Amino acid sequence: MHSAAVMSHLKQIGTVEEVSEIVCLVRGLPHASMDEEVIFESGAKGMVLRLDEDYVYVVLLGRENTVRRGSEVMGTGEPLSVPVGDELLGRVINPLGEPVDGKAIINTDLKLPIERPAPSIFERRPIKQQLETGIVMIDAMLPLGRGQRETIIGDPKSGKSNSVYTAILNQARLGILSVYVTIGKPQSKIKAFVERLKNENLLDKVVIVMGTASMSPTLNFVAPYAGTTIAEYFMEKGKDVLVVYDDLSQHAKYYRQMSLLLKRSPGREAYPGDIFFIHSRLLERAAALTEEKGGGSITSLPLIEIKERDLTGYVPTNVLSITDGHILYDIGLFNQNIIPSVALELSVSRLGGKVQCPILKKLGVTTSQDLMRYREAQAFAHFGTDLAQETKNRIERGKRIIEFLKQDPYEAISIRNQIIMLYGLTKGIFDKVKIDAVRILKKQIFDFMQTSESWKTFYDDILVKDLRDLRKEFISLFKELEEKFIKAQEIVDEEVEKAKEKAAEATATATEAAGPKSKKKSLFGFGKKGKKDNQEASNSGLKTEAEAAKPTSAAESSVQPVAPNTETAGATADAPLITDATITADTSQKTDEQPDPAPQETITEPTHENSHPA
């Protein structure tokens, strides 16, 4: 509708008294209400965010420079709304519902306010279904339920966004809808994720509400509320929806900027006093509805950015107190190439195993305990003390657990594959596998199970039956895996070790053959002909009685100088030490080694003319 036509139908008209960046001070509009949408004379839109006795404070929804002092502004009498409907699936929109993906205009006449009351307690049902993220550490050890609110918190560039991307992709593969809301993010990052969705033909399961750094603070503030309203439309139709807010710490900063321009009293860290309320009323809209209300659900995953693992900030503590748990991403683990970098000991999901199948619940608890013991033993091992064999075994198993839990970006693992993997870890089946072959072996096993008919049949019962009922079948199928992959891996390792031993023996033989031809030097640099060298030294003014002495027998003339060598002390030529650690040693050291015959003399050089031989 044209702005002039709209003006003719509006009754409330005010005048702009002052313009300050994105905030306008308007006189008039006596019936204005909070969050009401207003339209300026130039066609620009705004939203009422503060009411005074004589003035109304309006924030502009865009970076408009067409609003001037004295311009007219008209109230619509309606709260700010966003279009909703199935037409939004597969689209990238701004927080006002306008397409920004270059495609056709969204044809929907249905609009809903961005601010809506949260479902009451009588409209909610207990959360009993698991939300499958495809990330083993979350699904098995920190399970999420459909309708839950879980904070994803961590340092910058610690892998938080990659994890939620994996969760969105996995939900789309399962046919579950997602709404991804960005707040102050670069467009290039969003574009890369959209391309990934297109490549897998999953974009029609996702709605992306894009708030970028180039947009006004008002639009970034509105973005999470608009995304939640879109998700509520699908929830009320009986569908399960995942909503990701990336991230709410930026959202709080934009709201602080707006509040300071609205001349509200600043509080802690200059945030306004209602900073807790704007996030609580947003996250309370996540729920699992009763069957009478359609049975749909909204699962909220707000992201929070912290610095140096500091969880005591104002905004992080607020959001943590609102949600049903949190998952901490540790930058230290990320730098060690442990991805996803979830700090298990500092994370919690308050739903626990209520939403998990019995098998995954039991395996997840056991694996998490093994992982915690591994990290304790690893910290103790840093002191350099002698470790018991049990502790060493615990560390070795923990290393393999870490390798199995590593996942590449966008790599999602199904619940059934997680159960197979965790069972093998807890039973020690993979303890003999070399660490650098763990991830390759994991991929081979998963590919094999997709084509094996026996595993396909077993898959149908794995989520509904108890582990005790499936134990015998489980063990027999694992023996098949062990024979096909792990035993084969051990055979390959043995062949490699034998090849290394043969190469080492050949090197040792060549070293012994070349030994007599090598010139071994004494401590002071003299060669075999120590007598000749000493004679030359005496000619330069270092003559002594010992140097002038001549050997009287062939035995004396055959005396060789022996250089002290602490590394080879006690070793003999007929018993060389060939181990894995020495296979790759420099062969030049071996050529210098000589057989150690009968006790030999060592020729020492005097330091001055008047010195005597030792």
Positions marked catalytic: 350
Helical H segments across 40-186, by residue range = 136, 160-173
Query: Which single residue is written with the structure tokens 């397409």?
Result: 99
Cα distance between residue 561 and residue 563, in whole Å: 7
Q: Are strands 55-60 and 45-51 parallel, antiparallel or unpaired?
A: antiparallel
Cα distance between residue 461 and residue 474, in whole Å: 11
Cα distance between residue 341 and residue 163, in whole Å: 10
Annotate 462-485 with three-state secondary structure: HCCCCHHHHHHHHHHHHHHHHHHH
Assess contact for 316 and 304: CB atoms under 8 A: yes
Cα distance between residue 197 and residue 410, in whole Å: 10
Q: With H, G, I as helix, E, B as strand and everything else as coil, classify residue 280.
A: helix
Q: What is the DSSP string of 517-544?
A: TS----TTS--S-HHHHHHHHHHTT---
Cα distance between residue 267 and residue 250, in whole Å: 17
Structural tokens at position 297:
């659900």
Residues 419/423/424/425 CA torsion (nearest 10 deg): 100
Cβ neighbours around 320 below 10 Å, total: 17
Contacts of 549 (CB under 8 A, 6+ apart): none
Q: What is the DSSP string of 571-592?
A: --TTS----HHHHTS-HHHHHT
